[in-house]
Chains A and B, each alone.
Chain A
Amino acid sequence: MELTALTIHDLQGLLQRREVTAGQVLRAFLKRIAQEEGKVQAYMAVTGREALTRAARLDRRLDKGEQVSPLAGVPLAIKDVICTQGVPTTCSSKILEGFIPPYDATVMRRLDQAGMVLLGKTNMDEFAMGSSTENSGYKITRNPWDVSRVPGGSSGGSGAAVAADLCAGALGSDTGGSIRQPAAFCGIVGLKPTYGRVSRYGLIAFASSLDQIGPMTKDVRDAAILLRVFAGHDPCDSTSVDMPVPDYTAQLGREITGLRIGIPDEYFIEGMDAEVETAVRGAISVLESLGAKAERISLPHTEYAVATYYLVATAEASSNLARYDGVKYGVRTGKARNLLEMYMKSRQNGFGAEVKRRIMLGTYGLSAGYYDAYYLKALKVRTLIRKDFEEAFKRCDVIVTPTAPTAAFGLGEKTDDPLTMYLSDIFTISANLAGIPGISLPCGFTQAGLPIGLQLLGKPFDEATLLQVGFAYEQATEWHRRKPPL
């Protein structure tokens, strides 16, 4: 098999036994990128030269028999929302064109220490706002399974890069489904950790009470390996929780006999896509055949999640994005007679339409006279959504749902109607509002050959069980082995 088609754990074995060098692995990926990236457009930038230097350095250390770090020589792609010291980081926004972070995000520092090779930065919806990556200020990323369709979003570049074997694994960020939905659309594994599990230091903020960084990988074991490397408390992020990080690979392979899985009625509604429903029901049967006990449950406030999210997330975004003022970094536009005009012009020219819409909605919901009716109301409904999950998890260990209501939709299909685009996140948003972890993994294909995603939701800080169940399902099925026909 091609080196580029291998999982991280396969590459680890080859590299550590010195059957391949880090340089060979990297060159295989750079060659594949040269051949296929033009069709997919997953990357904002490929950092080939720096990567070659780093791989050579790692090879010298490995040749000397130095202690091998877990990711030594593994090439990863990083969503362009995560700060990389000395490497441009734009959030796919024109307002950050040319921005070079003077520091590394904590996740980057931890991956570096573990020996990873940074392959490049991936395209995304501007400031992670979107569900198709079409809101990028720079380029349109295509779904490797069908290049006339979107890869999902906002981590669409990372999703497409993993699916097309343009990297060994990737990092995404998830505020309302931005890891899980592109993972589903691209036929890969994507994990959103519990809020507080992973440091957000150096993650350019969208909605600070919802954002989490997580792995996007070719299989469940790879997700477990990556999460283990970068999870855990960080003094630089006061919302990261000081709890031990388990060895997530240790629980893989354990049986799931007796595990209680909850199937929420509200996620299987009339009019839902028949192929998605069939695939997810089929996955539930597989889990039952492995010994899990399925039970119908209710999450009664599900239908309010999208409305709640678009008030909470936009309110936080309007505040977070106030920093782009054309003074300390980013782009300043044109001549201005005074400071106010400079702010207004820089932001008008620097932000795209969706970002402007969300800044406006968020500012409106927080403004005098509307705060109680909108923002405060949403925070109260958020409590109801959180309590739905607390009740549900008294009766089950894991909740099983579709990741998205449909498989990947066509490029341009939803760009004219923001509300329709928002509703494509209907199954992923609640987990962010409740702060719980969720994973998406492939569970079938449509007639047209598009991947379908299965979502597992877990109790706070119980990523280990999600990975265990996901791994058990993966071992019993073959979906994750399919490759897109590029």
Chain B
Amino acid sequence: MKITRQEVEHVARLARLGLSGEEREKMQAQLNAILTYIDKLNQLNTSEIEPTSHVIPMTNVFREDAVSSCLSQEEALANAPDRQEVFFRVPRILEE
């Protein structure tokens, strides 16, 4: 097995993704099949090859540091699942 049950649980936690027991089991089997297929990349020697993260030869793009229009507070909050006054409301972060 390329990916263990424990690794599936670890990665799901890294991704902040809840998975049921059934989902975890299926996920492990499917990820194993996909990772086994992906192993074919190891047929290639890439020790001397530069990575391509982006196809366009550009680095940082800057603009003038000027004030321009942006969303109003009301617009920015309009889609929030929960809000209070002008804030996004979330469940407790720190334990009591």
Q: Which residues of A line the B interface, CB within 8 A? A: 98-100, 102-103, 195-196, 209, 235, 238-239, 241, 301, 303-304, 306-308, 310-311, 318, 322, 325-332, 336-345, 347-349, 351, 353, 356-357, 359-361, 363-364, 367, 374, 376-384, 386, 418-419, 422, 434-435, 460
Contact = CB atoms under 8 A, between A and B. Distances in A.
A369 to B, nearest CB: 10
Contact of B7 (A241, A364, A383): A364
Given A328-B76, A329-B81, A337-B92, 20 more contacts: A102-B79, A209-B54, A301-B44, A304-B44, A327-B88, A328-B80, A338-B95, A339-B92, A341-B91, A342-B91, A357-B31, A360-B27, A374-B38, A377-B46, A379-B52, A379-B53, A380-B51, A383-B51, A384-B44, A419-B37
Contacts of B27: 356-357, 360
B59 to A, nearest CB: 10
B17 A383 contact: no
Is the contact region of chain A dominated by helix, strand, or loop, or is it mixed? Answer: helix
A384 B40 CA distance: 14
A332 B95 CA distance: 21
A345 B18 contact: yes
A357 B30 contact: yes
Given A326-B81, A360-B17, A381 B7 contact: no
Given A347-B16, A360-B31, A363-B11, A103 B40 contact: no
B82 interface: yes
A330 B63 contact: no
A435 B56 contact: yes
Given A326-B81, A331-B81, A383 B56 contact: no
Interface string B65-89: 0000001000110111110000010
Contacts of A419: 33-34, 37
A102 B14 contact: no
B17 A337 contact: no
A196 B54 CA distance: 11
A387 to B, nearest CB: 9
Nearest to B14: A363
B18 A307 contact: no
Contacts of A331: 81
Contacts of B75: 102
